[in-house]
Amino acid sequence: MATTNDYEKQVNEEWQRQVEELKKPNIMIVGGTGVGKSSLVNYVFGEQVAKVGSGQPVTRGMHRYEPKNIPIVLFDTEGYEISAAGVDASNFRTNILPKIDEYQAKEIKEQIHLAWYCISISNNRITDFDIDNVKLIQQKLNNRCAIILTQCDNDEEDSNGKGVKAELFKQILREKDIQLNVFETAAITNGMDLPLDIEKLIDWSSEALPEGDLRYSFIVGQKRSIQAKCELAKKEVIRIVSSTAATALIPIPISDAALISAQQLYMATRIASIFGMSSMGNTVQNLLKTQIASSFGILFAASLTKFVPILGSMINSAVAATITYSLGYALIKLFEKACNDYLDNGIEPDWVNLFSNESLWGDVREGMNQWKTEMADKIEQAKREGY
């Protein structure tokens, strides 16, 4: 069996490898002055990503932000002022639109993958400048553009509970033949979170990205949809379960269980990454890595022991799949709680308590029962279909 030191080395190596391999989606943020672009970005990605002056200028009126611990790249375009004389669109047309063309001519990792076009409800109108630019960006990005109506908490509700101005803006966009997804968001004031369509925006953004690796990184980077992280983690667990079961397709001795445990340790690190733990401070990360390494051997050995009376000295694919799934299920529950506590109350995770809590073992058992039930359902379905 592997020792705790072996696990610590594996965790550190795997943690670093996964961070380095993340492919970052490039997201462009467009909108007028004061519409809340920076607030929206910082809210979705969980920290002061769009700090004034911290971006690298790529052309006049466009800055590139690449946060150190978040797998995204932001291209923030300058705001514009609406006055009685109208909107001065000269710089946007002269510098920013040609820059988009320049990026789109490069290989996919350098391209602008997504655009969020922000329009404030408080401005009381959509300008011709907005209409024209939305159409141009929509065309340049092959419809990977969404319209974000900001400050919708200032909107009046109609009799159906919908925003009066928001519905009017959506009607104007339809009349202008703009068939893009529109999401309503609210200002974030006095510590109050009024997300409205934030979850929907995150889901759409993930699906709209052109590659699976970019979608994965976006879900890792965003902080507001814990549900999206849970769903992605579940998919990863199933994928790893399949790989683990294949490794043990031919029964192997328990003494060779490191072949299985290496995949499960990879899974533990993968789930931690999905829940954004690599974006937390070094202290929190190091404590987590230590706890994964020290607890993993205990969890794995205890799971094996449960099956030893049945198997004797061998592990088969069914056992490998059950153990892997149950551990993955429990880890998802653990990180979901850690994220919710952090978002709701600002409480940094107490990893020792989370990993030693009796509820973790309850989740392992629940995962085992769920896997057995799902497998029984699949077997019955196969029988009905004549397999």
Q: What is the DSSP code string of 185-236? A: ----BTTB---TTHHHHHHHHHHHSSSHHHHHHHHHH--S-HHHHHHHHHHH
> Quick one: which of 88, 138, 100 has its CA closest to 117?
138
Which pLDDT band holds residue 253 (cuts at 50, 70, 90)? very low
Give the span between the Cα atoms of 106 and 120, in whole angstroms: 32
Asked if the structure places residue 168 within a domain, the reply is: yes
Q: What is the pLDDT of residues 320-378, one digit of tens each?
A: 778 788 889 999 999 999 888 887 777 788 888 888 878 888 888 898 888 878 766 65
Task: For residue range 108-167, list pLDDT tens digits in order.
Answer: 999 999 999 999 998 888 888 899 999 999 999 999 999 999 989 888 888 888 889 999
Among 210, 235, 262, give the residue marking a domain's end. Answer: 210
Are 265 and 14 in contact by the 8 Å Cβ rule? The answer is yes
| pLDDT at site 306 | 57
Task: Indicate if 246 and 345 belong to the same structural domain.
Answer: yes
93-110: pLDDT as tens digits: 888 899 999 999 999 999
Give yes or no: residues 48 and 184 share one domain.
Answer: yes
pLDDT of residue 4: 58
Query: Regarding predicted confidence, which is higher, 115 or 11?
Result: 115
CA distance 231 to 158: 34
Mean pLDDT of the chain: 81
> Same domain, yes or no, for 152 and 67?
yes
Asked if residue 62 belongs to a domain, the reply is yes
Task: Tell me if 221 sits within 8 A of 45, measured CB to CB.
Answer: yes
Q: Which of 210, 242, 270 is the last residue of a domain?
A: 210
Percent of the chain with pLDDT over 70: 77
- Judge whether residue 17 has pLDDT over 70: yes
Structure token pair of residue 370? 């769920």
pLDDT, residue 51, reads 61
DSSP state of 161: S
Whether residue 92 has pLDDT greater than 90: no
Are 293 and 183 within one domain? no
Which tokens go with 319?
A: 């056992």
Q: Give 20 or 280, the one with higher predicted confidence.
A: 20
8 assigned to some structural domain:
yes
C-alpha distance from residue 354 to each of 238, 284, 295, 366 (Å):
23, 13, 11, 17
Say if 161 falls within a structural domain.
yes
Task: Supply the DSSP string of 310-341, one letter for each residue.
Answer: HHTTEE-HHHHHHHHHHHHHHHHHHHHHHHHH
DSSP class of 85: T
Q: Is residue 216 part of a domain?
A: no
Q: For residues 60 and 11, state if they share a domain.
A: no
Q: For residues 34 and 278, which has the higher predicted lDDT (pLDDT)?
A: 34
Q: What domain count does the chain have?
A: 2
User: Is the distance from CB of 213 to CB of 23 less than 8 angstroms?
Assistant: yes
Q: How many CA atoms lie within 13 A of 220 on its CB side?
A: 28
For residue 327 the two structure tokens come to: 């551990």
Q: Span 281-287, mean pLDDT?
A: 74
More confident residue, 274 or 292: 274
217 in a structural domain: no
Q: What is the pTM of this model?
A: 0.85
Residue with token string 């401005």: 123
| Phi and psi, residue 141, nearest 5° | -105, 15
Q: Where is average pLDDT lowest: 152-166, 238-252, 285-299? A: 238-252
Judgement on whether residues 173 and 268 belong to the same structural domain of the protein: no
What's the confidence (pLDDT) of residue 300? 58
pLDDT category at 85 given cuts 50, 70, 90 is low
Task: Judge if 359 and 265 occupy the same domain.
Answer: yes
Using one digit for the tens of pLDDT, what is the confidence trace for 304-317?
555 444 444 455 66
258 assigned to some structural domain: yes
Query: Which amino acid, residue 157?
Result: E
- Together in a domain, 205 and 279: no
Residue 240 sits in the same domain as residue 376: yes
Domain boundary among 175, 210, 245: 210
Same domain, 192 and 238: no
- Identify whether 220 is part of a domain: no
pLDDT digits (tens, 9 = 90+) for 183-225: 999 876 544 455 589 999 999 999 999 999 999 999 999 998 9
Task: Give yes or no for a contact between 63 and 36, defined as CB atoms under 8 angstroms apart.
Answer: no
Nearest C-alpha neighbor of 274 from the set 232, 246, 309 = 232
Cα gap 356→350, rounded to integer Å: 10
Residue 239 CB neighbours (<10 A) = 12
| pLDDT, position 266 | 84
User: From the CA atom positions of the chain, what is the Rg in Å?
Assistant: 24
Boundaries of domain holding 180: 24-210
Q: Do 58 and 194 belong together in one domain?
A: yes
User: Which structure tokens are listed for 11?
Assistant: 């965790």
Query: Do 43 and 188 have their domain in common?
Result: yes
